[in-house]
Structure 1
Amino acid sequence: MKNIALLGLTLIAGSTLAAPKGEITIWSWDVAAKALEATVPSFNKLYPDVKVKIVDLGNQNVYDRGLAGCAAGGADLPDVYSVENGEAEVFWARFPDCFTDLTTLGASKYIKSFPAFKWTELSVGNKRYAMPWDSGPVVMFYRRDLYKQAGISPTSIKTWDDFIKAGQKVNAKFGGKVKMGVIGNGSDDEWFRMLANQNGCFYFDNDAKEVTINQAGCVDALNTVKKLMDAKLLSVGDWGGQITAFKKGDTATSMFGAWYEGTIRSNAPELSGKWGVYPMPAAKKGGVRAANLGGSALALPASSKNKEAAYAFIEHALATNEGQIAMLKQYGLVPSLLSAAKDPYVAQGQKYWGNQKVWKTILDTLGDVPAARGTQFFQEARQIMVVTQADFISGKFKTAREALDSAAKQISAATGLPVAK
């Protein structure tokens, strides 16, 4: 009888652990926040006693308030925190006690469920401070109708030189009113980062020990950005400006990480059937046609009062095909979970995209993406590069190498890391 009683207590304890209750708050942004909302119904079927509150604070505000909360010892942080992979190491390095090591909650069993590169920036030694969410393989989203009117076949665009020739046709056809893309020049350096990553170059080396922004691949990337600007193929706009441009038909192409699929589809449902996807152009014939921009993770602040429910949500949203495919279907977040990439949905033609099998096109590039490390100094380096890029394009430097040598010295001074020889 004693053993039976103990068994009963164990079962009760187990059921309690498996059925968290209460309320959890999640901070996220834009499409990512909407995507998390898409996982709530299936989560609540499993955990009906957990109320999930998702707050869309905007990308920069989530980051800023996260830093402020960690600096204040975890004050006013949510139960689940969205963090971009490129910025994640800032938190682990500066505030090692701010987030929960997910291995203490059972995350070790998911190590091989995600690509190794997705864990790199989320781990410190054997501790894993966040679970991989989405990745951002870069592709070209293009307007089928505008390309056709300008006499352009996307299959003919294999290099950046090909892209420039196509852009000249667009300029000629539409009198310069339609551009081949929108760039955040002066507010972001996303085009430079995508092209640099494609060339196997980034702000820092993959050991996070040296500044590498003035290496050959980065020089080539910055030169290409200037060529595109000098040819008047790109308009300048911030995040909102880029959305406005594609809704109005002022841009024929949007180059972004594949998560932008959801941004286009949700903001411009009226353009269904008019969009398609092709791989980003290579620096040279036969070169790499892949890069990564963005990709996020979910972390659990140590100050959470409901860690059990918070981890259950993270686990359901990110470590199950159900959660990942729900976010892919509704909002275009590219799964990092390896098993989700094999889901039948990935191989289906998508109506919005002219029945193209866009997810196959996108996921086929993942294996070609060169590794890149954001490090804890990502934001410092990015801010320096945003100014450097704008200065180079405006003519303040004679060459891209001169501009990037200047950026490298500034990044080295700001981080204490030496410039690679």
Structure 2
Amino acid sequence: MRKLTLLSALVLASAAAAQGNNLSGTVTVWSWDVAAKALQSTVPSFNKKYPNVKVNVVDLGNQNTYDRGLAGCAAGGADLPDVYSIENNEAEVFWARFPDCFTDLNTLGADKLVRNFPAFKWTELTANGKRYAMPWDSGPVVMFYRRDLYQQAGVNPNTINTWDDFIAAGKKVNAKFGNGVKMATISNGQDDEWFRMLANQNGCFYFDNDAKQVTVARPGCVTALGTIKRMNDAGVLATGDWGGQITNIKAGKTAGALFGAWYEGTVRTNAPDQKGKWGVYPMPASRAGGVRAANLGGSALAIPSSSKNKAAAFAFIQHALGTPEGQVTMLKSQGLVPSLLAATRDPYVAQPQAYWGNQRIWQTVLGTLGDVPQARGTQYFQDARQVMIVVQSDFLKGRYKTAQDALNDAARKISSATGLPVAR
């Protein structure tokens, strides 16, 4: 198996080398935030192989990339780039609504790279026998924390094993800093990422993995929403949108952040003066001995059918995502966690990271991957997410008596929006 994988990689590499001087033109890439910066970091090594191809990475912002992608597909591919960044949990929206908008990458050679990635990473990228995008990064969830603030408050991260432990630690932080520092920031009213992370660790999501039922009112999701309410009521969380969370980190108003591991680059690049003050530990479990892992995010790269330079676009994707060189470059520059199996075995993964107090953080991060429960976004991800944003906010404001009541209402609304039945 391994020999076949290496052989296929060598064949593609040889073919790429032969093409290197033949490919030319401009490849325009749409992406966002650290993802765009990460892709930009692979351009110099790509241009050593393909000196006549100019890569133009455009940072449109996350939501704008998604919205313009939908608009472009609805317009028959008008004004779309050569390479399009897409989050895994939103990918099926495109495949379902616009099956002809993107290129089947199998026609360009992606079928020869299948075994180089974990099987689960292809699930949401494949439809009707077509492979519409190549896996990029994954988002194993961890708790990023300020070592110095924890220490000042007398909190030992090694003793935080459950969310109850986390709440207890938060009360110590509140007492030490007069409520001026919180344990983390939740984007309540703006997003439901905390709910998705905690639901995932409890084996629950909006929908079942067959995309046939609404499962958001099941016990694992009830536990997740109830836990968030307990943290909110205990006063250990700050509230803020994406920009507000970064502002809190830079100002030292939060002692940590719960996110997918790709957030490492966000912390490091936005707070360079805090080098050595940060660390990482696995997300707390809902109960003693419970799962301390989840996934948030993870993206892929696709080629719109309207691209006029597909060969060069695929060459760039193959270099950035299909080689350890490209993937580890992005891990180093922006903290994007590789999906490419060979990249996760790179020696860099085992190295101490100076910004993170010389902790071997990538071993901690990648060590959780095997425990992440499976979840599927489906084509209805955004419909469900918009419902849950409102329901979560209303629940934290006391507008529902229990988490079960809140999620029963969410399930009915999601069912109404999608046409899928509520699981019994």
- Alignment TM class, shorter chain as reference: over 0.9
For 1:132, the equivalent position in structure 2 comes to 135
CA distance in 2, matches of 1:383, 1:373: 16
Question: Normalising by structure 2, what TM-score?
Answer: 0.96
For 1:77, the equivalent position in structure 2 comes to 80
CA distance in 1, matches of 2:118, 2:403: 34
Deviation beyond 2 Å, 4+ runs, structure 1: 11-19
SS of residue in 1 equivalent to 2:389: helix
For 1:257, the equivalent position in structure 2 comes to 260
Pair 1:172-2:175 in alignment: yes
State the AA in 1 paired with 2:231. L
SS of residue in 2 equivalent to 1:27: strand
For 1:5, the equivalent position in structure 2 comes to none
For 1:239, the equivalent position in structure 2 comes to 242
State the AA in 2 paired with 1:192. F
SS of residue in 1 equivalent to 2:287: coil
For 2:7, the equivalent position in structure 1 comes to none
RMSD over aligned Cα, in angstroms?
A: 1.4
Alignment of 1:6-405 (within 5 A): 15-16=18-19, 19-405=22-408
Count of aligned positions? 411
SS of residue in 2 equivalent to 1:139: strand
CA distance in 2, matches of 1:269, 1:281: 26
Structure 2 spans left out of the alignment, 5+ residues = 1-13
Q: C-alpha displacement at 1:110, in angstroms?
A: 1.0
State the AA in 2 paired with 1:254. A
CA change 1:174–1:14 in 2 (3 A) is closer
State the AA in 1 paired with 2:62. N
Q: Tell me the alpha carbon deviations over residues 385-405 of structure 1, each in whole angstroms, 9 at most, x when there is no partner.
A: 000000101011001001000
CA distance in 1, matches of 2:362, 2:68: 34
2:418 corresponds to which of 412, 415, 420: 415
Q: Tell me the alpha carbon deviations over residues 284-311 of structure 1, each in whole angstroms, 9 at most, x when there is no partner.
A: 0000000000000000000000001000
CA distance in 2, matches of 1:369, 1:162: 21
CA change 1:81–1:12 in 2 (3 A) is closer
CA change 1:369–1:72 in 2 (3 A) is same
Q: Contact (CA 8 Å) 1:17, 1:308: kept in 2 or not?
A: no
Q: Tell me the alpha carbon deviations over residues 37-81 of structure 1, each in whole angstroms, 9 at most, x when there is no partner.
A: 000000000000000000000000000000000000000000000
SS of residue in 2 equivalent to 1:108: helix
Q: C-alpha displacement at 1:126, in angstroms?
A: 2.2
State the AA in 1 paired with 2:84. Y
CA distance in 1, matches of 2:159, 2:22: 55
CA change 1:20–1:400 in 2 (3 A) is same
CA distance in 2, matches of 1:163, 1:28: 34
State the AA in 2 paired with 1:366. L
CA change 1:13–1:144 in 2 (3 A) is closer
Q: C-alpha displacement at 1:12, in angstroms?
A: 12
CA distance in 2, matches of 1:253, 1:344: 28
Q: Contact (CA 8 Å) 1:134, 1:297: kept in 2 or not?
A: yes
Q: C-alpha displacement at 1:333, in angstroms?
A: 0.2
SS of residue in 2 equivalent to 1:346: helix
Q: Percent identity?
A: 72
Structure possessing the higher radius of gyration over alpha carbons: 1
State the AA in 2 paired with 1:368. D
CA distance in 2, matches of 1:16, 1:208: 41
CA change 1:272–1:398 in 2 (3 A) is same
Q: C-alpha displacement at 1:17, in angstroms?
A: 7.7
State the AA in 2 paired with 1:196. A
Q: C-alpha displacement at 1:253, in angstroms?
A: 1.1
Q: C-alpha displacement at 1:233, in angstroms?
A: 0.7
Q: Contact (CA 8 Å) 2:31, 2:60: kept in 1 or not?
A: yes
Q: C-alpha displacement at 1:19, in angstroms?
A: 3.2
CA distance in 1, matches of 2:365, 2:17: 41
CA distance in 2, matches of 1:138, 1:116: 19
Question: Normalising by structure 1, what TM-score?
Answer: 0.96
Structure 1 spans left out of the alignment, 5+ residues = 1-10
CA distance in 1, matches of 2:15, 2:74: 39
State the AA in 1 paired with 2:41. A
SS of residue in 2 equivalent to 1:251: coil
CA distance in 1, matches of 2:380, 2:115: 28
CA distance in 1, matches of 2:120, 2:423: 23
Q: Contact (CA 8 Å) 2:82, 2:304: kept in 1 or not?
A: yes
Q: C-alpha displacement at 1:125, in angstroms?
A: 3.3
CA change 1:17–1:141 in 2 (3 A) is closer
SS of residue in 2 equivalent to 1:282: coil
